[in-house]
């Protein structure tokens, strides 16, 4: 096989360091999106981890999201006159995820991967009744930290000799993180403790195309996350009697993901990249039908990345992503340090 030259390899590493997805706020209707990455590239046959090699990838991801809403409980007498309660709320959501990923090359075409995340979440909610007896805001802080959803994946490189290179993947996500339907809630149906998982297993097939154009590398990827529906128990608080339990069949909305980007090598040790990612999260179903508050979500993010090769075994990847749509996280920063053992 014709090997990549140094500039193409570094550019390829960089574009993979920017493949981040929006990770963040988990609700009972739409759950968190997991960070997606493709293996780093060194000068070796094939694109995936070579046969017999093991890559240990440690990462830390910081995600910040905020939203400001105004709700009206009442009715409109005239277009400019509202009778009722006007409430303004400001929500700041912070998520930090430490991930430990291991990849092993079964052959030069096939690798297996496992990822273990630890998730910390903090939501600060500030509410104020604009036309109420008091203008002082009330602030509530909710936290949660626990093991996240463990993932396993297989990746296979279809062609080895000529570009563009095509890679197929199949990812499985477990339910090891705390489910939104398992954490305690208060009398207003708000979380007392934030969940760290989606509560549903999922299967994600995907395909990636890589095209080296020295000194740049272009890539395209597409994937589909299928969330497997399940029966969940929901505790319904009651004021004058014990809470009741309701069993619902939840079919979490699937996710369609498309991404593209380019990496460019500055010198033999440093490269940078830029990418664009789009996700469409379909409506969730409850007991076979769509609830009134179910909606289609569109998440677009632009990402930037930088890669520094410390040596042939260790690289440092820094990636930042900014949300372009209302549903996407405002900002996400990821630092990854892959280390190759041969």
Residue keyed to tokens 């590398």: 217
User: Which structure tokens are listed for 169?
Assistant: 């993947």
- Asked whether 327 and 297 are in contact (CB, 8 A), the reply is yes
**pTM of the predicted protein model:** 0.80
Which pLDDT tens digits describe the chain residue by residue (342 residues)?
Answer: 444 454 555 555 444 444 433 333 333 334 333 222 333 333 344 679 999 999 999 999 999 998 776 655 545 444 444 444 555 677 889 999 999 999 999 999 999 999 999 999 999 988 766 655 556 678 889 999 999 999 999 999 999 888 899 999 999 999 999 988 888 887 777 788 999 999 899 999 999 999 988 788 999 999 999 999 998 877 666 555 656 677 888 898 999 999 999 999 888 899 999 999 999 999 999 888 988 888 899 999 999 999 999 998 999 999 999 999 988 999 999 999 999 987
d(CA 172, CA 176): 12
Rounded to an integer, what distance in angstroms lies between the CA atom of residue 67 and that of residue 271? Answer: 34
| Other beta carbons less than 10 A from residue 111's beta carbon | 27
Q: Phi and psi dihedrals of 246, rounded to 5?
A: -120, 135
User: Exposure of 159 by Cβ count < 10 A (0-12 exposed, 13-18 middle, 19+ buried)?
Assistant: middle
For the chain, where are the alpha helices, taking DSSP H only?
6-17
Q: Tell the burial category of 284 from Cβ atoms under 10 Å away from its Cβ (0-12, 13-18, 19+).
A: buried
| 11 closest CA partner among 242, 275, 273 | 273
**Helix (H, G, I), strand (E, B), or coil: what is residue 12?**
helix
Beta bridge partners of 297: 281
Domains defined along the chain, listed by start: 6-62+92-128+138-319+332-341 (2.40.160.40)
């Amino acid at each position: 096989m014709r090997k990549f030259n140094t500039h193409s390899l570094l550019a390829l590493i960089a574009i993979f360091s920017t493949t981040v997805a929006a990770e963040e706020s988990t609700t009972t209707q739409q759950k968190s999106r997991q960070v997606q990455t493709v293996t780093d590239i060194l000068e070796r046959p094939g694109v995936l981890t070579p046969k017999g090699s093991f890559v240990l990838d440690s990462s830390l991801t910081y995600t910040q999201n905020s939203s400001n809403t105004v709700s009206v409980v009442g009715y409109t007498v005239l277009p400019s006159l509202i009778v009722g309660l006007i409430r303004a709320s400001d929500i700041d959501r912070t998520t930090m995820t430490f991930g430990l990923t291991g990849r092993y090359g079964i052959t030069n075409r096939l690798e297996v991967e496992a990822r273990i995340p630890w998730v910390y979440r903090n939501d600060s909610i500030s509410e104020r009744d604009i036309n109420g007896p008091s203008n002082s805001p009330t602030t509530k802080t909710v936290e949660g930290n626990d093991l996240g959803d463990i993932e396993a994946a297989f990746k296979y490189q279809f062609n080895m000799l000529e570009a563009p290179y095509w890679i197929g993947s199949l990812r499985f996500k477990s339910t090891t993180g705390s489910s939104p339907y398992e954490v305690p809630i208060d009398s207003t149906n708000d979380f007392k403790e934030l969940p760290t998982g989606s509560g549903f297993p999922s299967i994600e097939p995907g395909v990636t195309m890589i095209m080296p154009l020295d000194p740049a590398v272009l890539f395209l990827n597409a994937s589909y996350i299928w969330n497997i529906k399940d029966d969940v128990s929901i505790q319904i608080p009651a004021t004058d009697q014990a809470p009741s339990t309701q069993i619902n069949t939840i079919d979490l909305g699937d996710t369609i993901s498309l991404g593209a980007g380019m990496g460019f090598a500055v010198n033999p040790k440093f490269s940078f990249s830029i990418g664009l990612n789009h996700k469409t999260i379909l409506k969730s179903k409850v007991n076979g039908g769509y609830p009134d508050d179910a909606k289609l979500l569109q998440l677009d993010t632009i990402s930037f990345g930088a890669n520094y090769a410390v040596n042939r075994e260790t690289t440092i990847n820094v990636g930042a992503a900014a949300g372009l749509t209302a549903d996407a996280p405002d900002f996400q920063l990821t630092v990854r340090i892959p280390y190759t053992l041969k």
